[in-house]
Amino acid sequence: MRTQFRLSPGAKQTSTDGKATVLDAVDVHGKGLQMLGRLRIQGGRTDGAFYAELHHFSAAARITDGKKDWKLINARQWYESLPGF
């Protein structure tokens, strides 16, 4: 059986003068999977944050100028405490 995923209606992609791409309020759900995230790519710089949960395992990551910071303990709380764009 295939697993189907859906992108939440609140997810959006915006672009400013072709110089920046922003994915914000990304919320993907599937069987046993939840992924949340936001991403900004502008002027060669990549910033964002992601949270993923698969059944009972979860992880979160923050990307600041392309450098990643991973959290495996209290991942959801850490992700939710990060500032938005």
| Domain boundaries, given as residue ranges, for the chain | 18-81
Q: How far apart are CA 7 and CA 29, in angstroms?
A: 7
Note the residue count of the chain.
85
Task: Note whether 85 and 21 are within 8 A (CB).
Answer: no
Distance CA 54, CA 75 (A): 12
Question: pLDDT tens digits for 16-74?
Answer: 556 788 877 888 888 889 999 988 888 889 999 999 999 989 999 999 998 999 999 99
- State the number of CA atoms in the 13 A half-sphere of 17 facing the CB: 3
Band (14; pLDDT cuts 50, 70, 90)? low
| pTM recorded for the entire structure | 0.76
Is residue 17 within a helix (H) or strand (E), and if so which, with residue range?
A: none
